[in-house]
Amino acid sequence: MATQHNIYLFNKAIMFITLGIQISVLLIPVWLVVLGIGYAMKQKKQRVATTR
């Protein structure tokens, strides 16, 4: 498990160093939050629809 985590961090470090994709690496957490909010809103809407 620790090895997989180290490989993941190494890959992200290499991606961050690469000039063309630095912004992409920085925006990954933001994008995941946006997706999470959209998913939560969708789930809430579906729950409201099924209780009616």
Cα-Cα-Cα-Cα dihedral sign, residues 15, 16, 17, 20: positive
pLDDT at 3: 82
Work out the angle between the directed axes of helices 2-17 and 22-51 (0-180°, nearest 10): 120
Eight-state DSSP code of residue 18: S
pLDDT band at 11 (very low <50, low <70, confident <90, very high): confident
pLDDT at 37: 97
pLDDT digits (tens, 9 = 90+) for 16-42: 787 777 787 788 889 999 999 999 999
Let me know: does 15 contact 21? Beta carbons within 8 Å.
yes
DSSP annotation string for 30-50: HHHHHHHHHHHHHHHHHHHHH
